[in-house]
Amino acid sequence: MAQQDFVVLNKDEHKDLKIKHDPTLAHGKESHLIAIAVNEYARAASSVPIVLIKDDKNDTYHSTGLYGLEANKNLYFSEEGWQAHYAPLNLQRYPFDIRPEGEQLIVFIDQGSELVNKDEGQALFDGDKASEYLESRQRMLGDLVRGENMTREFIKEVDEMGLIDELNLGVIFKDGTRKNLVGLYNINEKKLHELTDEQVLQLHRRGFMGAIYAMLTSVGQLNRLVQLSQNSDNPVQGIQVLPKQEEQQQQEAEAPTA
């Protein structure tokens, strides 16, 4: 992938630019974690595990799809096309981005992207006005911002209710090697069922219950990762959900002694 060079999108400087369409979404082929907003969960959960990762610097969680089992390897990328029926907005938006500048949100474009050129693809401007294509991209970026805001509220809610829990995975490769994936989080289903009626109603009112169950069911897509890995240099034989440290200690304490 070419060196990124994001600049503010400017009608005068970029009036002749066009964007090529890439059905393979090759710009994401080295991303094994891709941000997914809570309003995308229903569409994404049937093709990719949805997890949370923790930023230890500020003790916050971020929502992401698990698209690979090794760093810099996206198993959903293929020269034949993206290997899922849905791609997250954070992948679709490229080569655009939206960032705050002061009190405003500004659209940026990666002018170093191979998708950006002057000869082929969708024009950004039609005379002095944004083209229909650019308007559709701007709407997508607006949806992305709203989704990110909603996701922060969702994570804050489930965290305050004590529902976030570790999801430790054991990956077994066909060559016999093993690897444990740590630092992933999901919803603790046992704690979910222990919520009070008032808490459950609060989640329903905020539209978060569907997202919670989407996260839980998405764990089944670990099998999809196993399937997709068969075409990689290091195929996976299986993935196990490992017991959490406190569960393992409890099991050892309860184990019968000779």
> What is the distance between the alpha carbons of residues 161 and 79, in angstroms, rounded to a whole number?
43
Contact 228, 75 (CB under 8 A): yes
- pLDDT at res. 57: 85
Looking at per-residue pLDDT, the higher value among 103 and 208 belongs to 208
For the stretch 167-204, pLDDT in tens is: 999 999 999 999 999 999 999 999 999 999 999 999 99
Gap between the Cα atoms of 73 and 226, Å rounded: 13
Contact between 81 and 23 under an 8 Å Cβ cutoff? The reply is: yes
| Angle formed at CA 52 by CA 48 and CA 54, multiple of 5 degrees | 145
Give the mean model confidence (pLDDT) for residues 52-57.
Answer: 91
Over residues 204-249, the pLDDT tens digits come to 999 999 999 999 999 999 999 999 999 888 899 999 998 875 555 4
